[in-house]
Structure 1
Amino acid sequence: MRTVAVVGTGLIGTSVALALTARGVTPHLIDRDGDAARTAAALGAGTAGAPPGPVDLAVLAVPPGSVAGVLEEHQKNGLARAYTDVASVKGPPLDEIAARGGDLGSFVGGHPMAGRERSGPLAARAELFEGRPWVLTPDPATEPAVLGRALELVRLCGGVPVVLDVEAHDHAVALISHVPHLLATLMAARLDDGEEVALRLAGQGLRDVTRIAAGDAGLWTDILTTNAEAVAAVLDGLAADLDTVRRALRGPDPAELTALLERGNAGYARIPGKPGGTAVAYRPVRVVLRDRAGELARLLLAASAVGANIEDVRLEHATDGSAGLAELLVADGSAGTLTAELRRRGWTVHA
């Protein structure tokens, strides 16, 4: 694969283009918002504008409700030899493509399971898809060569291909992506009416719960309404659980509440770690950061000198801005050594 057209230069489209550029592929960036395409091009994601002739693959990085219309437009003008998309809903767009008489042989649905709470080309990252599942949903009519192009795209972007039926995909993402985003938004919406004194008490737990609520409201309206049936089915179960919680809180016996909290423990434990990796036990090492320039960089350098493999870094800021807390997630076996060495170097580390 040498040439690609990326239609839509938001977070995902620009990230795809950046990843492909790094692997020697030439992306042509197409967007109805010319400024967005030019911004992506300025970031090194490719060339703004349509290609002079058919490209090897067109990646449709548009909302689910727009996939069928955009595919129809570009299949008619012969943009590419093969087409895929990155939308987070697969069934309804595929039905609309068929209803419009689209060429399903040259199309395969795709959905990289990666993203950020920010949107737009400036939020794009070439490494966004590294090690992340990338679902492909081929139709029976999809030509093998087209599926091969999509698999090559996933490989070039560093993703891990997963082939699913469209219905299985849509129910899965409703459970692990769409409803969690909706719940984060609903919690964040409660804060809009919250008293200032309450918000000043907010800690990292609230930030973790509401982080993804910063996503683009228009895009998420499209996603949720396109996958409405699957999302509503998950919400039905949640509504029943909420009724259980309200009944337990207002009743004499908290047993039902305890049982639900234990189910939450069990569900959380089922979330896998690194895709394709083996299960590893991690332990947080919490380090106080003073309010001065370069403090986090100095901490990471110190941890690196110890040889600690840092799986994740989380930051919690003090409300008065005088200090903060960095939580370094490291393999259980190295947590003690890292803690002792950081303390020896003068860092304040909490057990």
Structure 2
Amino acid sequence: MRTVLILGTGLIGTSIGLALRGKGVEVLLADRDLTSVRLARELGAGDEWHYDDKVDLAVVAVPPAHVASELRGLQSRGVARFYTDVASVKAQLIDDAQARGCDMSTYVGSHPLAGREKSGPGAARADLFLGRPWALCPTGETAPEARQAVLDLIGLCGANAVEVSAEEHDQAVAVVSHAPHVAASAVAARLADASDVALGLAGTGVRDVTRVAGSDPGLWLGILSGNATPVAEVLEAVSRDLAEAAVALRGLASGDPAAAEDVTQLLKRGVAGHGRIPGKHGGPAARYGVVQVVIGDRPGQLARLFQVCDELGVNVEDVRLEHAPGLPLGMAELSVQPDAVTTLTTGLHERGWQVP
């Protein structure tokens, strides 16, 4: 693969451009928003595309509702040998492409399951897809060469290809992405009218649960519209669990001891479900030890902390920061292998760090 056109220079499109440029692929960029193209170019994601330029692969990175029409337009001009898209819904999109008369032999739908709560080219990263699953949804009409071209794209971006049918994909993302986003938004919506006292007590728990709720509503309306039925089915199941939990909690408040079992069972099911989320590198979820460190809110503090970890030979598996309201400091929670907790704790103490 020598040349790739990316139509749509948002977070995903620009990140693909950055990843491909890092592997020596010539990338051309196009978007109706000329400011977005300019920023993506300045970031090094590629060069501006001209209509007479031909490429090996065209990546359609626009909202789901516009993918089929853009695909048809590109194919009608013979822009690329092969085509893919990166929308987060697949079945309806493929149906739309077929209805518009798109050449389904040269097109393969795909979806990188990587993203951020931020959007736009300014949030793009070349390493956004590293180690992440990237769904590949060929149909019975897909030519082997087209499938291989998209597999090459996925490999160049450092992602792991997962081949599924469009229907399987949409059911899956309803459970692991789309319904959770709506649920997070519902929780965050409660905060709109929350008291100042409640917001002043907000900690990591509510931030974790509502993190994705800060995403662009217009973008998410397009995503949910393309996968409405599967998402609705998941939300209905979640709603039943929540309704039963509410009944049980009212039973607890009225002194019914049997209600505690209903609440406990839901919490246990939650623990079991959380435990099934793949861990680092896609393997089983790992259990890490957590070392908490008080850290000043000033330049260089994180760098110093990570330098200590390097000196001690301790690999940081994950890190979380919690700021102290009203104070110029916070707490860094470092997740490390359990057998490294004592080494890291002792080493930090010896170097003057506050480790509660």
**Structure 1 length normalisation: TM-score?**
0.97
- Structure 1 segment 78-97 matched on structure 2, within 5 A: 78-97=78-97
- Structure 1 segment 235-314 matched on structure 2, within 5 A: 235-251=235-251, 252=256, 253-277=259-283, 280-314=286-320
Shift of 1:73: 1.1
Q: Give 1:125's aligned residue.
A: 125
Q: Mean alpha-carbon deviation: is it higher for 144-153 or for 283-292?
A: 283-292
CA RMSD of aligned residues (A): 1.2
Shift of 1:50: 2.8
- Structure 1 segment 42-191 matched on structure 2, within 5 A: 42-50=42-50, 52-191=52-191
| 4+ aligned runs moved over 6 Å, structure 1 | none
Residue deviations 1:213-246 (CA, integer Å, cap 9, x gap)? 1111111000011100100110111111011111
Q: Give 1:199's aligned residue.
A: 199
Shift of 1:323: 1.5
| 3-state SS in 2 of match to 1:104 | coil
Q: What is the alpha-carbon distance in structure 2 between the residues aligned to residue 183 and residue 262 of structure 1?
A: 19
> Identity over aligned residues, as a percent?
52
Residue deviations 1:34-57 (CA, integer Å, cap 9, x gap)? 110111001000012336432000
One-letter code aligned to 1:195:
S
One-letter code aligned to 2:320:
R
Q: What is the alpha-carbon distance in structure 2 between the residues aligned to residue 294 and residue 53 of structure 1?
A: 46
One-letter code aligned to 1:127:
D
Q: What is the alpha-carbon distance in structure 1 between the residues aligned to residue 204 and residue 262 of structure 2?
A: 28
Is the Cα–Cα contact under 8 Å of residues 201 and 319 in structure 1 kept in the other structure? no
Give the direction of change, closer, same or farther, for the CA distance of 1:127–1:235 in structure 2 (3 Å limit).
Answer: same
Gaps of 5+ in 1: none
Is the Cα–Cα contact under 8 Å of residues 28 and 51 in structure 1 kept in the other structure? no
Residue deviations 1:254-312 (CA, integer Å, cap 9, x gap)? 21111111111111111110234465431111101123332111111111111111111
Q: Mean alpha-carbon deviation: is it higher for 1-10 or for 52-61?
A: 52-61
Q: What is the alpha-carbon distance in structure 1 between the residues aligned to residue 74 and residue 280 of structure 2?
A: 37
| 3-state SS in 2 of match to 1:108 | strand
Residue deviations 1:80-101 (CA, integer Å, cap 9, x gap)? 1100011110000001111111
Shift of 1:109: 0.6
Q: What is the alpha-carbon distance in structure 1 between the residues aligned to residue 189 and residue 174 of structure 2?
A: 20
Q: Mean alpha-carbon deviation: is it higher for 288-297 or for 191-200?
A: 288-297
| 3-state SS in 1 of match to 2:81 | coil
One-letter code aligned to 1:300:
F
Q: Mean alpha-carbon deviation: is it higher for 333-342 or for 87-96?
A: 333-342
Is the Cα–Cα contact under 8 Å of residues 306 and 338 in structure 1 kept in the other structure? yes
Q: Mean alpha-carbon deviation: is it higher for 304-313 or for 47-56?
A: 47-56
Give the direction of change, closer, same or farther, for the CA distance of 1:93–1:174 in structure 2 (3 Å limit).
Answer: same
Residue 324 in structure 1 maps to residue 311 in structure 2: no
| 3-state SS in 1 of match to 2:311 | helix
One-letter code aligned to 1:123:
A
**Structure 2 length normalisation: TM-score?**
0.96
Residue deviations 1:176-195 (CA, integer Å, cap 9, x gap)? 00011111111111111111
Q: 1:349 aligns with which of 343, 348, 355?
A: 355
Is the Cα–Cα contact under 8 Å of residues 185 and 210 in structure 1 kept in the other structure? yes
Residue deviations 1:11-52 (CA, integer Å, cap 9, x gap)? 000000000000000111010001101110010000123364
Shift of 1:66: 1.3
Gaps of 5+ in 2: none
| 3-state SS in 1 of match to 2:105 | helix
